[in-house]
Amino acid sequence: MTDVKGDRSLPPHKQADPDLFVHVTKRNDEGVWITGAKAHQTGCLNSHWLIVMPTMRLGEGDEDYAIVGAIPVEAEGITYIYGRQSCDTRAMEGGDIDTGNNEYGGQEAMVIFDDVFIPWDRVFMHGEYEYAAMLVERFTCYHRRSYVCKSGVGDVLIGAAATVAEYNGADKASHIKDKLTEMTHLNETIYSTGIAASYQSHELKSGAWICDDMIANVCKHHVTKMPYEIGRLAQDLAGGLVVTLPSQKDFESPEIGGLLEKYLKGRADIPTENRMRILRLIENMTMGRNAVGYLTESMHGAGSPQAQRIQIARASQMDFRKALAKELAGIEETDREEILETFTDYFARVFTTAEPKAKA
């Protein structure tokens, strides 16, 4: 979805190079052709279809940029350029420890379209620039709520921090236990705001259900901060060794492996290798390949922090809240009563959450 965007102070049709946002270059009876690039699509290489969409509000002059369509990943004219991740080449070193998480990782690639064809029956928007903003808002409403997935990643990191504290013999210290509690409190905040966004979902005219826009944005906005704090606390519990541990090859070396085995032992009953493995997992999640997904993607995926703040402000129905305050302060103003009687949007959902069940 994310176009490469060029100069962010300019709209698509004012960019020095028209291709900096994906756009239609020609069209005929059979379909359209598009050119441009999507900056860094997570998981695109293991998908079957790509759906291109505008990435933001469009205005007059941006008609060619108002294009939504589905394309098979192997369509002619697409070039994928694989992105680098922190510590990416460790996967090619041959061991299974320094990678941190030897089973799972993600990948991002730049997707470049050079006059790629989309037949009309797979074109879902074509020129209706005035709906681009609404489309993006609805898409991100789903997408931001889906970032609740990071609470699952958080479970693993909290578990890793608890494990390393135990391996270090430090798990009984009150400050250690308190930090694990703080990590849990943050992690479950992400989880529960995500769940609440779904619970408070509502039906659109089309019959599709959409989750609550306010809460979905609140959820994602926490995701832009809390994983960083959880990651910081995990490094606190791990100790400095998490970023200075010698390599697996040194551990396996006949010459110095024994020294590392001896000196990197924590609690006597825990194999040194286990301690190494858990430290490498924490490195992987806070600085390495999976930090890309757990931290930076949590920041920017489905919209950067400011995008959520804009949506939270839009959904906040400040006039309703002002009327509440004026009522209690004894301020008589035109429309105050009228506003208070009209529940719409977010407040309608807040005050009627019980109804769907009552009806059922």
| CB closer to a second copy, 92 vs 207 | 92
In angstroms, the Cα distances linking 271 to 171, 239, 268 are 17, 18, 8
With beta carbons less than 8 A apart as the criterion, state whether 296 and 228 touch: no
| CB closer to a second copy, 31 vs 278 | 278
Beta strands 209-210; 123-126: pairing state: unpaired
User: Least distance in Å: CB of 132 to a second copy?
Assistant: 20
Question: For 92-96, which contacts have Cβ atoms below 8 Å and span 24 or more sequence positions?
Answer: 93/248, 93/249, 95/247, 95/248, 95/249, 95/252, 96/248
Nearest-5° angle of CA 273, CA 274, CA 279?
95
User: HSE on the CB side for 330, CA within 13 Å?
Assistant: 0
User: Least distance in Å: CB of 193 to a second copy?
Assistant: 5
| CB closer to a second copy, 96 vs 128 | 96
| CB closer to a second copy, 79 vs 121 | 79
User: Least distance in Å: CB of 63 to a second copy?
Assistant: 22
Residues 6+ positions from 352 with CB-CB distance below 8 Å: 343
The string of DSSP codes covering 242-297 is GGTPPPHHHHH-TTTHHHHHHHT--STTS-HHHHHHHHHHHHHHHTSHHHIIIIIH
| CB closer to a second copy, 60 vs 92 | 92
| CB closer to a second copy, 69 vs 301 | 301
| CB closer to a second copy, 128 vs 236 | 236
With beta carbons less than 8 A apart as the criterion, state whether 220 and 147 touch: yes
User: Least distance in Å: CB of 24 to a second copy?
Assistant: 18
Number of other residues whose CB lies within 10 A of the CB of residue 130: 14
User: Least distance in Å: CB of 88 to a second copy?
Assistant: 9
| CB closer to a second copy, 24 vs 339 | 339
User: Least distance in Å: CB of 129 to a second copy?
Assistant: 21
213: buried, middle or exposed (CB in 10 Å: 19+, 13-18, 0-12)? Answer: buried
User: Least distance in Å: CB of 127 to a second copy?
Assistant: 24
User: Least distance in Å: CB of 12 to a second copy?
Assistant: 13
Q: How far, in Å, CA of 202 to CA of 106, rounded? A: 33
Calculate Rg over the CA atoms of the chain. Answer: 25
User: Least distance in Å: CB of 117 to a second copy?
Assistant: 19
User: Least distance in Å: CB of 144 to a second copy?
Assistant: 13
| CB closer to a second copy, 138 vs 326 | 326
Reported in sequence order, the residue ranges of 120-238 that DSSP labels E, i.e. its strands, are 123-126, 202-203, 209-210
| CB closer to a second copy, 206 vs 263 | 263
Q: How far, in Å, CA of 27 to CA of 23, rounded? A: 11
